Each structure stands twice: as structure tokens, then as C-alpha cells.
Amino acid sequence: MNEPKWLKHNVVSHVHNLLLAEHGGPAGVRDESLLHSALDRPKNKFSYEPHCSLHEMAAAYTFGIARNHPFVDGNKRTAFVCGALFLELNGFVVTASEADTVVAMESVAAGNLDESQLADWFRSNSVDS
């Protein structure tokens, strides 16, 4: 597999700010190192797991942001949009309904959906663009 198009820190921060502007909530990064850790997670998978799929890397972005909680607010929203954006940049479109997405993200945040299951969810809820 060729190297994917990665999400840059400034893009993730911009996505977070747009989501807060639209849906409300206090702005700010709670822990910059946790944000960097979340953004490095899919790159590490790509480097050390040669057969890692784009869906697994999208799940790594989403899971990392949702579980690391790097932002003051809006972590689940930002996490999902970043996973979906990563897939879009790399040739997929997420097709899940808003209701299904909310259930999935609440499950991730509660610890009821692990990263592998989230990758399966992305695989089942996306199509080639």
C-alpha cells in the first residue's frame, strides 16, 4: 500500500474549531501531547503493521482522539469527523446515518467498542468514492 494522506495537526485543530462553532462548547486543547499521540497512532500502525487497512487507520485516528480526550470539549465529534475525513482523503465515503454514528461514538467513549470493532464499523459503513 502507498503511504496514505495523513491529517495534519492544523487541519484537526481547524476541524475541532469548526465543530465547536457549529455545535457549541468551550474551545481549547486540554493536553497537546495527547493530541500528538492520537495523531501519531495511525502512522505507527502504518509503519509497524504492513497489512493495516485504511479503515484500521481511520479507527486509530478516531479511537485515539476519542479516548485520549485531548480537547476541552468536542472530542467525540472531532474524533469521528477526523476518521471520516481521513477515509475521504484516501478514497472512501462514510455512509452511516447520524444516529448510527452517535451510537458508535458513544460506545467508543464508554469503552464498549474497541479499536478493532470501530475499524469493522468504518468498513461496514463506507464505500469507495
> Per residue, what are the HEC states of 40-88?
HHHHHHHHHCCCCCHHHHHHHHHHHHHHHCCECCCHHHHHHHHHHHHHH
What residue segments make up the domains of the chain, in order of their start?
A: 9-22+29-128
Mean pLDDT of 78-105: 98
**pLDDT the model gives residue 1:** 80
The CA distances from residue 60 to 11, 48, 94, in Å, are 17, 13, 16
Residues 40-91 pLDDT 10s:
999 999 999 989 999 999 999 999 999 999 999 999 999 999 999 999 999 9
Domain 9-22+29-128 has CATH 1.10.3720.10: no
